[in-house]
Amino acid sequence: MTDALDDPLALDSQVCFALVTAARNVVSIYRPILEPLGLTHPQYLVMLALWEQSPRSLRELAHELALEPATLSPLIKRLEVQGLVTRGRRHGDERVLAVALTPEGQKLREQALSVPARVMESVGSDAESLVALRDALAPFAGERRRPATGT
């Protein structure tokens, strides 16, 4: 068997494999932390974006989250059923679907404040290490990513 560094096609040499494996594991780390909030990981990402700015158009949210509007729409519908967001046409431009937080969605932010610390505890890392990791991944994230705080 060849050393992974000697074989550029070895599975363990692939950044793409490390990233996809890490992404899958990250979602499984978040699952038990988000469950008491009633959120899945994709729903949590939507809520994070809305806690930054609400209301937002579906198109703006899709761009922010690097998702297609058709992928995002069912997530928004489930959050609406949970009473966390509302969907409606934007005044002045009926073509735009606006997504806004409800008072319950706003209140959920207080409960979510513990999520980053619980994730750090779960992986045995500190904020500085996770910020460095996030910044190191920036070349793979495309134009969407910008330096920010959080995990």
Q: Which residue has the higher pLDDT, 19 or 91?
A: 19
Query: pLDDT tens digits for 9-52?
Result: 999 899 999 999 999 999 999 999 999 999 999 999 999 999 99
Cα–Cα distance, 24 to 6 (Å, whole number): 27
Asked whether the beta carbons of 94 and 59 are under 8 A apart, the reply is no
Query: pLDDT tens digits for 70-80?
Result: 999 999 999 99
Asked whether the beta carbons of 86 and 80 are under 8 A apart, the reply is yes
The secondary structure element, H or E, covering residue 141 is helix 127-141
Cα–Cα distance, 69 to 87 (Å, whole number): 14
Residue-range domain boundaries for the chain = 11-141
Q: What is the pLDDT of residue 144?
A: 55
Q: What is the pLDDT of residue 145?
A: 47
The verdict on domain 11-141 having CATH code 1.10.10.10 is yes
Mean pLDDT along residues 76-96: 88
